[in-house]
Structure 1
Amino acid sequence: DLEDEEKDLLKDALMRINPDIFGDCYTVPKEVPLLRDLEEYSYILDACGKNKKQGLGLSIALGEKDKALDAALRLQREYRDQIVKGLEWIKREGAVQLSDIQYLYSEDKVLKSVMGTIASIGLSVNLLDNSKPVIGLSRLHKDIKISGRTTREMVSKGVDLGSALRDSSNNFGGQGGGHDIAAGAMIPYESKDNFLHLVNEMVEYQLNND
């Protein structure tokens, strides 16, 4: 309902708040409305994958809609609710701080399923200290699943989480690896504290020897 001049004023004001608010939009014009925006399409497929319903996502990608799409949308809503719960948990509890990393630990079934995602979002919206990598730990019986996340700025300063998690987990009979900005590992539960201190030392070394 705005006039062109008013639209320009609104656009300028929004860009002052967040310069990234406008960007490229990729669409599939012949798709059903819910799947035309490829970003939204990817979120729906991601929700299927995160809930271990890969077959459902594949069915949608191959053209099945109706019931399959309804089921995927339910999964997407549940997944978003899980992320909201996770972010509320971070806001309430915060992260445990070491000198060069911070970590989150949970045995909650819902939080375990979204640990990497909420770590990434927590850094991007400043719920977590973005000057330190965050290590998310989720207990799985006798093991701990590790999800490490950091920022592009920290990578530019020398942080390589893939290397840090791989080398640290190998010291405790575990395994790990990944990218400099996002990585994962699996370690025995009893190695948790020693593992965290070793990762902290490795990140400190990376920062001091870039």
Structure 2
Amino acid sequence: MLSSIIDGNGKMGKNSVPVAYFLGFENLKQEMETNWKLFKTKIIDYTYRSLGEMFSTPHISYFYAPESEMAGAISGILMLYLADQTKPVIGFSVGKDETKVSSRGTRKLVSRGLNLSLVMRDASAAVGGSGGGHDIAAGAVIPKGKEIQFLETAEKIIETQIGKVQAKAR
């Protein structure tokens, strides 16, 4: 819970509030808790919004995040609870000059051969970016406007890793 409070404040742009609180400024406790609650409310709203605006390819579910610092958290919630579990989720946060990419998978997909670290590394390199991470969760930074090319490369890599995906019927 402590890491969630600190992370939530950071995602709200209030990194210093929990630091100051834990250094003894007890008057910041209410602000710290309020920031965390606002973050939780935002992430729920953004998750459902992203779910409603989710796109799908044969091997990837993807969305565009409403805020730059939220793609990872949204991807994680979607993958764990709401998205098609037969393929990884990729979230894009498009900035002024670059796009941040966040991906999440499941243990079942990893056991079938998925390695999102390699997907992010190789697909981002193919479009002039960089990436990496873990087999189940990874990220990248790519030039703005290269999202579709990135997806096309990631699609091929994931198909090679886990084979043809059988999407579940809805």
TM-score (norm 1): 0.72
Q: Is the 8 A contact 2:50 2:64 kept in 1?
A: no
1:43 aligns with 2:4: yes
Partner of 1:89: 49
Unaligned runs of 5+ in 1: 1-38
Q: Corresponding residue for 2:79?
A: 123
**Where in structure 2 are there 5+ consecutive unaligned residues?**
164-170
Q: How far apart are the structure 2 equivalents of 1:142 and 1:200?
A: 24
SS of 2:85's partner is coil
Q: Deviations over 1:82-112 (max 9, x none)?
A: 112112213433x211111111124x34xx3
One-letter amino acid of the counterpart of residue 113, structure 1: E
Query: Match for 1:73 among 15, 22, 33?
Result: 33
2:167 maps to which residue? none
User: Per-residue displacement from partner, 1:59-101 (whole Å, max 9, x unpaired)?
Assistant: 23333322x21111111111011112112213433x2111111
Whether 1:156 aligns to 2:111 is yes
Q: Which residue does 1:132 correspond to in 2?
A: 87
Between the two proteins, the alignment pairs up a number of residues equal to 163
Q: Contact between 2:126 and 2:153, CA under 8 Å: does it hold in 1?
A: no
From the superposition, tell whether residues 91 and 192 of structure 1 become closer, same or farther in structure 2 (CA, over 3 Å). Answer: closer
Single out whichever of 53-62 and 173-182 deviates more from structure 2. 53-62
CA distance in 1, matches of 2:158, 2:89: 11
> Contact 1:100–1:203 at 8 Å: present in 2 too?
yes
Q: Using CA pairs below 8 Å that are at least 6 residues apart, which structure has the higher relative contact order? A: 2
**Hey, what does 2:140 align to over in structure 1?**
185
1:103 touches 1:136 (CA, 8 Å); kept in 2? yes
Please give the alpha-carbon distance, in whole angstroms, between the structure 2 residues aligned to 1:77 and 1:168. Answer: 36
Whose radius of gyration is greater, 1 or 2?
1
Q: Distance in 2 between matches of 1:153 and 1:129?
A: 12
Percent identity (aligned): 33
Q: What does the per-residue CA deviation read over 1:34-81, in whole Å, with 9 as the maximum and x for residues that have no partner?
A: xxxxx2x22211112222332222223333322x21111111111011
1:52 matched to 2:13: yes
The reply on whether 1:143 has 2:98 as its aligned counterpart is yes
CA distance in 2, matches of 1:48, 1:90: 22
CA 1:91–1:184: 2 relative to 1, 3 Å? closer
Please state whether the residue corresponding to 1:129 is helix, strand or coil: coil
Aligned residue identity for 1:81: T
Q: Normalising by structure 2, report the TM-score.
A: 0.88
